[in-house]
Amino acid sequence: MTTNEHMVELALERIGEGYVFPEKTAAIETAIRGRLAAGAYEGLDGPALCETVTADLQEVCPDKHLRLLWTDEPQSTAPVDDDGGEAAFRALLREENQGIRRVERLEGNVGLIELRLIATAAEGASAIGAAMQLVAHSSALVLDLRGCRGGSPEGAAMWCSYFFPDDQVHLNDIYDRCTDSTRQFWTVAHLPAPRYVDRPVHVLTSEVTFSGGEDVAYTLQAHGRAVVVGGTTRGGAHPTARHAVAEHVLVTVPTARSINTVTGTNWEGVGVVPDLPVPADQALEEALKAISRRTM
């Protein structure tokens, strides 16, 4: 067995063990093994292999979280070190200021928070609270998720909690295949900064906005707490584990699915559809116009 064949077989094993829709794994295995037998992956270098296998996976099962990823940082392939990518994600969050790119006060006393990642609630609480403290006395808030590429469900619930008056709002549920259990996500009772209620909130989105960023946008929109402005998001609603199948190759396996308590569904495959659809580069301008009209 070649190295590429071995990596693909390990990836299929992980998908079979953990994919949130087990009824789809047989079709995935049949399609990918057919491509293996046809020699489709022979001679491909790591990045090309990841790109080709991902395209084949998503052709048979269009789940944007289901993919092979190349990483420049070597990963341990020892089973004892396999934590589903959690340690690497926490390290990334620390490098990127818990996902908070900037906090500003704009003209008209409008607060702006730009996020690139959604931090975990445990490690990100202080940074999230610091950002919310800086906008606590603004008249309106813009939450810029146009470049937000994912993150933690617990962190998404914490961000959303700031925009509701108490801990009595049932935001969403997540069904996990591995444990065959459903976890409820409610607004958080105790937050390290004041809640942001009774003031307008606009969320900016783009075709880049993904996963955890979509979670925040979709949840606030569904509960009527924010107006979404910009472009339709990428459409990835399945919490995902990452497993190393080689030092530089990861397979990402959606192991759970989100269920919004208002809509009964999620944004998988369709994205978050904005209330005010405009090109992403015009979203901030459009949101500020909407805020101005509302506060006049």
Q: Is the pLDDT of residue 284 over 80?
A: yes
- pLDDT tens readout for residues 21-61: 999 999 999 999 999 999 999 999 999 999 999 999 999 99
Report pLDDT for 86.
Answer: 86
Q: Is the pLDDT of residue 129 over 80?
A: yes
DSSP assignment, residue 226?
-
pTM of the model: 0.90
Query: What is the DSSP annotation of 11-38?
Result: HHHHHHHH-S-GGGHHHHHHHHHHHHHT
- pLDDT tens readout for residues 263-277: 999 999 999 999 999
Mean pLDDT over each residue of the chain, to the nearest integer: 95
Q: Count other Cβ atoms within 10 Å, centred on residue 281.
A: 11
Rounded to whole angstroms, the Cα distance separating 290 from 296 reads: 10
In three-state form (DSSP H/G/I as H, E/B as E, the rest C), the secondary structure along the chain is CCHHHHHHHHHHHHHHHHCCCHHHHHHHHHHHHHHHHCCCCCCCCHHHHHHHHHHHHHHHCCCCCCEEEECCCCCCCCHHHCCCCHHHHHHHHHHCHHHEEEEEEECCCEEEEEECCECCHHHHHHHHHHHHHHCCCCCEEEEECCCCCCECHHHHHHHHHCCCCCCCCEEEEEEECCCCEEEEEECCCCCCCCCCCCCCEEEEECCCCCCHHHHHHHHHHHCCCCEEEECCCCCCCCCEEEEEEECCEEEEEECEEEEECCCCCCCCCCCCCCCEECCHHHHHHHHHHHHHHHHC
Rounded to whole angstroms, the Cα distance separating 70 from 233 reads: 23
Report pLDDT for 80.
Answer: 65
Average pLDDT, stretch 54-72? 94
Q: Is the pLDDT of residue 102 over 80?
A: yes
Average pLDDT, stretch 131-158? 97
Q: Give the CA angle between residues 78, 18, 54 to the nearest 5°.
A: 85
- pLDDT tens readout for residues 180-232: 999 999 999 999 999 999 999 999 999 999 999 999 999 999 999 999 999 99
pLDDT band at 294 (very low <50, low <70, confident <90, very high): confident
87-96, 144-153, 231-240 — which is least confidently predicted? 87-96
Average pLDDT, stretch 119-130? 96
Report pLDDT for 252.
Answer: 95
pLDDT band at 73 (very low <50, low <70, confident <90, very high): confident
Report pLDDT for 83.
Answer: 80
Report pLDDT for 228.
Answer: 98
pLDDT band at 295 (very low <50, low <70, confident <90, very high): low
Q: Is the pLDDT of residue 296 over 70?
A: no
Q: What percent of the chain has pLDDT over 90?
A: 90
Q: Is the pLDDT of residue 238 over 70?
A: yes
Q: Give, to the nearest 10 degrees, the angle between helix 121-134 and helix 153-161.
A: 30
Query: What is the DSSP annotation of 132-161?
Result: HHHTTT-SEEEEE-TT---B-HHHHHHHHH
pLDDT band at 2 (very low <50, low <70, confident <90, very high): confident
Residues, the chain, total? 296
| Among 234, 278, 163, CA closest to 290 | 278
Report pLDDT for 293.
Answer: 87
Tokens in use for 44? 């491909």
